[in-house]
Structure 1
């Protein structure tokens, strides 16, 4: 039984009993919002695509809106001005994300850098990520690895070009991202192109992103916390378990290599094991596995999804594709491998990436949780312990913020100071403040290089003679917003 069915069942069962006891929302203090039904509140108004539903509601009730999701007060923010207050001015009063049923699978919430509240352990894990994986020095050192994986992508595209074969763009991007992350973490390739080797891992990651983003009855009614009525935690237990077991095997193998005095690897796992050997109270084996889990899942799904969306819009907008290709040939030349040092010299490609982050953000929401005290914003009270959802999808489509928001127009970012590094609150694909995505520097490099590698020396035609305007742009809602129908196209050269 799905989430909506459970919500309806609860309504029918308890509506009459609790209606008279249901507390009315105080219009004097809380932000405006739709009137909640007894027991379930506004849960039914989330729908299958909550980012769409909340965007429509914000047009009625405003950019600071209150919902009652079950027993949980939830504040929805849909403007850059209020997002700035939450993420910058009052950042310290929103310490983290409330542990949800799904993140309690394998006690992930106790060790996950994505779930932990701001504190000593969270700071330690963030520092490890920053220094051992995402610092400029580390990224520059691993530049050759990324070029190697990108060359494999180009070789695959070239083979398909010669054989006039259709490429699943999302799948190709996923394999590239997967191998980049697996090599950065473990010095191992996890998949090959056009084989089934990546399918199991891709399915696990997709399943995880779906359950991590799914509304869950158990999160809104504490009475159901231990019952898992939708099976969401059970699904997460299975997916987390498979990945953690895989990491266990890799760690055991690495430790055995160390015992045998094998040459040390220059990867994150080696660095983490060295830290753990020096001080297990700072970083235990369990901490290592759950940190690897965070990095692995987030690093593969969001990067590959972003590349698929960019290629979708380039194929839907041939004039944009032509401008991007012309810039690459003018700046880089033909039949030359694009380097990371070239990115800063490609303003139109950068504008294409920014426009895709506006129009198709990797995730629809930034989630925060209010601390123990109330907070007043714009003369409205944010209750203590309230959940806060910043709808960055809505901000990216807001006509008061963007001209022609429903059109893909990279030119809007030419000669613009707006960037996505957390300082411009109208464009927040990686978040902002202390909890900004630590992988932003790596994602910046990989997205630009993967797109450039796909279009630099190749033209593309849609499968089965499909016209550009026929390309579907519907989304699958989850922790990340994936394309509902995979993008398939054939590379060719003139």
Structure 2
């Protein structure tokens, strides 16, 4: 029959494509069913043809996945388009993964965006597990993010936070409100850029610099949905939607700008005793002091990691901290009293002062518990088939560890949905990856190497905001009604920015 329901089949150029597509879907799901019969896979919620469980993720996947785990178990297998995906939702399961099978779970799925924007995933965060990743992680831990190196950048935090305080003080004198969300992002960006490349990328004018705009675009693209990643046989649709052209255009602009920054540094005769990350990597490249060839593309990829991992996480954590304190004025009063008692009447907060602010550290921990910046951590990928408890976990599947759900588990945390910093007083639980009920920076081999750098920035920035100013909601709004809705992206941000009225605590 040449026509079906009025549609011409034979001779229609779309018919072969339709036939191949339907055939592929049938073969794929028959193979999936065959695999499930052979292996004892973790439980799965019912899924739809072709899209699998995508429809169950919703706008806030960390919350949706916790709900699915409560129904189907702490180890959950989803079918996200073409990709089988394991979701780990309890501390016990996370500990078993890391302590027994960390190597098998330490690779990364290669996404279209990361592959294009991060030079074939030759950065630290998205690099596949192997010798190259081991060398660049060692470079990061030993040379870039060591305790000594983080301390050496205190002058940058001092200068950038002082500029922020002066801007807020000016607004306070004039009785103006401030967009604290925007300000905190800007200062975080400036701290990271000065430590990474020795200069600011966030210009003083309102629109920001070119690099700043590119960095934001990169973060948005990395968090964007790729049809080709979910459905490899539909890779061509990423061209039709404009996703691939956007990636290539952004990559080209970014590459040109980074090359310019690196070449300027190479040609400069200026001797700077306060070395930034770029200077350190160029020296190591020149002297051959590392056990790998460090190419210019590798350096650019590692630099981008710093902007992606260091800016948004710091600003997001600080924003959530201030929001929670506004909702809990008694806690705000208690932490401000501590900060102001420690600092006294000194003209600035010293780095050593932070170590005496024990309650502030509890407030930061509680913020990281309730609001981990990367709620599902960075996804992993299995490199071999492993046995996890009684389940067979195939090779090559994506793995999400739901840190957000783990850190709100009532079996580990009393009143887990409430903001109670006191839970960390006289409590040895820490966020360094050894206590699996509290893993905002990840755990195991793929734990974030920039943890010391990020925490130092959050501590110093928060202490200054709390020392110099009291804070009020715009228009005399009720703190209890402060909107705490989230928006999911590369990080989980507060949906509505914090617009606040600062009141100077001290006259200077």
Q: Structure 2 length as normaliser, TM-score?
A: 0.88
Measure how far apart 1:27 and its partner are.
9.9
For residues 262-341 of structure 1, the aligned pairs below 5 Å read 262-264=270-272, 266-279=275-288, 282-341=293-352
SS at 1:92's partner residue? coil
296-305 vs 318-327, which deviates more? 296-305
176-185 vs 107-116, which deviates more? 107-116
Residues 83-142 of structure 1: CA deviation (Å, up to 9, x unaligned): 112223211112311101111215623412112122222122112222332112212222
Matched, 1:18 2:18: no
1:140 to 148, 151, 155: 151
Which position in structure 2 is the counterpart of 1:218?
228
User: Would the aligned equivalents of 1:335 and 1:457 in 2 still touch at CA under 8 Å?
Assistant: no
Which position in structure 1 is the counterpart of 2:479?
468
Which position in structure 1 is the counterpart of 2:386?
375
User: Would the aligned equivalents of 1:88 and 1:432 in 2 still touch at CA under 8 Å?
Assistant: no
SS at 1:485's partner residue? coil
Measure how far apart 1:211 and its partner are.
3.1
Larger radius of gyration: 2
Structure 2: 5+ residue runs without aligned partners?
1-17
274-283 vs 54-63, which deviates more? 274-283
Which position in structure 1 is the counterpart of 2:7?
none
User: Would the aligned equivalents of 1:98 and 1:369 in 2 still touch at CA under 8 Å?
Assistant: yes
SS at 1:97's partner residue? coil
Measure how far apart 1:221 and its partner are.
1.8
Measure how far apart 1:202 and its partner are.
5.2
Matched, 1:255 2:263: no
SS at 1:65's partner residue? strand
CA distance in 1, matches of 2:412, 2:214: 37
For residues 474-493 of structure 1, the aligned pairs below 5 Å read 474-493=485-504
Residues 332-367 of structure 1: CA deviation (Å, up to 9, x unaligned): 214542222222221210111111111111111121
Which position in structure 1 is the counterpart of 2:467?
456
SS at 1:109's partner residue? coil
User: Would the aligned equivalents of 2:89 and 2:402 in 1 still touch at CA under 8 Å?
Assistant: yes
Measure how far apart 1:395 and its partner are.
1.2
Measure how far apart 1:199 and its partner are.
7.0
CA distance in 2, matches of 1:105, 1:172: 30
Measure how far apart 1:28 and its partner are.
6.8
1:61/1:139 Cα in 2 relative to 1: closer, same or farther (>3 Å)? same
1:172/1:107 Cα in 2 relative to 1: closer, same or farther (>3 Å)? closer
User: Would the aligned equivalents of 1:340 and 1:445 in 2 still touch at CA under 8 Å?
Assistant: no
Measure how far apart 1:385 and its partner are.
1.0
217-226 vs 310-319, which deviates more? 217-226
2:137 to 115, 119, 126: 126
Measure how far apart 1:159 and its partner are.
1.2
Residues 446-469 of structure 1: CA deviation (Å, up to 9, x unaligned): 101101100112101111222112
1:47 to 58, 61, 73: 58
SS at 1:108's partner residue? coil
Measure how far apart 1:15 and its partner are.
11
CA distance in 2, matches of 1:27, 1:419: 41
CA distance in 2, matches of 1:196, 1:36: 47
User: Would the aligned equivalents of 1:67 and 1:73 in 2 still touch at CA under 8 Å?
Assistant: yes
1:151 to 162, 180, 187: 162
CA RMSD of aligned residues (A): 2.4
Measure how far apart 1:401 and its partner are.
2.3
CA distance in 2, matches of 1:165, 1:474: 25
1:436 to 439, 447, 450: 447
Which position in structure 2 is the counterpart of 1:92?
103
For residues 160-179 of structure 1, the aligned pairs below 5 Å read 160-179=171-190
Residues 423-480 of structure 1: CA deviation (Å, up to 9, x unaligned): 1111111111111111100111110110110011210111122211222111121121
218-227 vs 113-122, which deviates more? 218-227
How many residue pairs get matched? Answer: 478
Measure how far apart 1:203 and its partner are.
4.8
CA distance in 2, matches of 1:199, 1:408: 37
Residues 40-90 of structure 1: CA deviation (Å, up to 9, x unaligned): 211211222211211111110011111111222111010011111222321
Measure how far apart 1:371 and its partner are.
1.0
Q: Structure 1 length as normaliser, TM-score?
A: 0.90
1:332/1:78 Cα in 2 relative to 1: closer, same or farther (>3 Å)? same
SS at 1:385's partner residue? coil
User: Would the aligned equivalents of 2:320 and 2:367 in 1 still touch at CA under 8 Å?
Assistant: yes
Residues 287-315 of structure 1: CA deviation (Å, up to 9, x unaligned): 11111111122211111111111111111
